[in-house]
Structure formats: structure tokens, C-alpha cells
Amino acid sequence: MHVWRSLAEIPDLGPAVVTLGNFDGVHRGHQAVLEAMVADARARGHVALAMTFDPHPKAVHDPAHTPELITGVDDRLERLAATGLDGVLVVRYTLDFARQTPEEFVRDYLVHGLRASCVVVGRDTRFGRGNAGDVATMRALGDELGFAVDIIDDACAVSESGRRWSSTWVRELLEAGDLPGATAVLGREHRLRGTVIHGDALGREIGFPTANLDHEAGMIPRHGVYAAWLTVLDGRDNARAAAIVGERMPAAVSLGMNYTVGGTDLRVEAFVIDRTGLDLYDAEVALDLVEWRRPMLDFGSLDALVAALGEDVDWCRDRLAIRA
């Protein structure tokens, strides 16, 4: 899948079926719509393209209430690629961009930039300065500028339970620590991404050496201990980490404050189960969270903490073996 960061980068790929959105999480509703759009584009002999935004528009218009994104841009693009899209334009969202009229946006981005033959939108789509544009506006502009408009079928947006697929639903599940539920809506495990940094070495001293993540992307769910899979995405300058890029390793993840030793800051720490001698420093890694075990607790002593960690690891090993 091609990824472009500006209109100037986009080559002439011929007529395109185009959609736009934030696609936070790229959940099963997004997937259903995009896969149907891709199939339609293939039937027409056209390419299938999407436009998405970074940062989230709410972060620009209301920075005091910036939403916590389910996925970072890199994971969003990876998941968009899995739907079969031919290309994605990532628009840097700014106040200047938001000041465009609906007509300017459609003409410059959809028609001239992406060469839309058909634009796929939801019934509640709003666009242009002050969100002045809606579906009726898009249809009128389509008639004027020569592209068709398809309205997303609501059936694509509704889950088996009858609830509409949504990023809001995913956030609710993550906040509750319901990772199996979040996995069901996302269509895959929830991912945290970050760089492995040096910690305080307490884990090594007590027999549970952990990879400490400088968390960079992925919504932080309910604090606690999780069964997870750790994958090295990029070894960077660490040759030992580079040698295991792509290998999924079972892990017990601690997410929150370590109350037993007086911790007051958020820590994301992963103990890779049944592996010794790992060196992951400076590597970029992903944690795919499978199931929540318990909240963060103050065990009162290091001995009690060590005993609890041993039980956590056994529990995680069992849960991950079921899903291996």
C-alpha cells in the first residue's frame, strides 16, 4: 500500500474510489466498509484510496480534550493496508486545513489530488469549514465535478450483538480491562508500541527481568497485569534484537504504578516468559494484550511481590498456551 503525506507525492494512478475518516483502531466496522469499497473499486477497474488525518481533528480544535487514540499512525496504516487499500493519504490536520470551504476541500483533495471517480461516505459525514458540508453537499459537488457518491450501508456498521461498531465501544472495553471484548470489536488484539529503555533494574534483582517501554502509541487500558505477546518491530542499532524481529514471544505485562516499592509514575514493563538472555534495549517493540489478570497492588514486601509475580507468570503462560 502506498502512503503519501502530501498531495504533491501522489502519482496519477487513474480513477479512484475514495473514502475518508479518522479510522481510529480500524475496528471491524471500518474493516467491513473498506473491504466492500475495495471490492467495488476492483469491479470498476479503479484503485481504492483513503484519506486519514494526523493529529486527530479534536486535538487541534479542542486541545484541552484531546482524545486518547486507540492506535498510533503506524499501526493505523498497517491495519488499513490489511483491508486491501491501494493507498492512503495522511493529511497533517491544522487550523489552516480546517478553514477550507467544503468546495475547496473536495476539489483540491478528492478530485484533483486523489482523482476520485466515486466518494464513499457515511450518512453523518461532515467536512469543510465549520463542518458546513454534509452528504447533500457531497452529492451536489459530485454532480458538478463529475464523481459518484456512495453512502455506507448501515448493515456494515452493526455488530452481531446489534450494537454499532465504534471506536467509543473499543475505548469502553479497554478502560474496563475487557481485552477479549476489545479483541472481538477490533478483530485483533489491542497493541501498545514503544521503545525499550533502561529501568531501575529491580526486576532483574528479584528474578523477573523486564523490558521497560517508553510508551509511544496505543491507548493505555485499565492498569494491571496482562497476558500478552511481545514482538520486536525494529531492532534499530541492537543486533541481538534485530535477529528476532517478527517473533511473537509470550509475556506477562505490568501496566501501572508499582505500589510495593513506592512507585508513583506509570510503567509499562514486560517479562518475556521462558526466555533468558534477551537484550531488547533501544529496540522498537509491540505488546499485543490478550487478557487482564488483576489490578496493581501493594504487596507490602518484596518477598510477597516475588511470590505474586510467580503466580502471574504461571497464569499468563496458561492463558497464552490456549491461544498459541
Residues in the chain: 324
Q: What's the pTM value of the predicted model, to 2 decimals?
A: 0.91
Determine the pLDDT at residue 169.
Answer: 95
Determine the pLDDT at residue 158.
Answer: 72
Determine the pLDDT at residue 280.
Answer: 96
Determine the pLDDT at residue 324.
Answer: 40
- In angstroms, the CA 202 to CA 189 distance is 29
Cβ proximity of 254 and 223 under 8 Å: no
295 Cβ neighbours under 8 A, 6+ residues apart: 222, 223, 224, 256
303 Cβ neighbours under 8 A, 6+ residues apart: none
Determine the pLDDT at residue 303.
Answer: 87
Determine the pLDDT at residue 157.
Answer: 67
pLDDT one-digit tens code per residue, 175-212: 999 999 999 999 999 999 999 998 776 666 676 888 99
Q: Which residues of the chain have pLDDT under 70?
A: 153-157, 201-205, 207, 259-264, 322-324
DSSP conformation class of 129: G
**Where does residue 247 rank: exposed (0-12), middle (13-18), buried (19+ CB within 10 A)?**
exposed
Side by side, the strands of the sheet bearing 148-151 are: 2-4, 87-92, 47-54, 16-20, 116-121, 148-151
Look at residues 217, 16, 249 and name the one whose alpha carbon lies nearest to residue 110. 16
Determine the pLDDT at residue 161.
Answer: 78
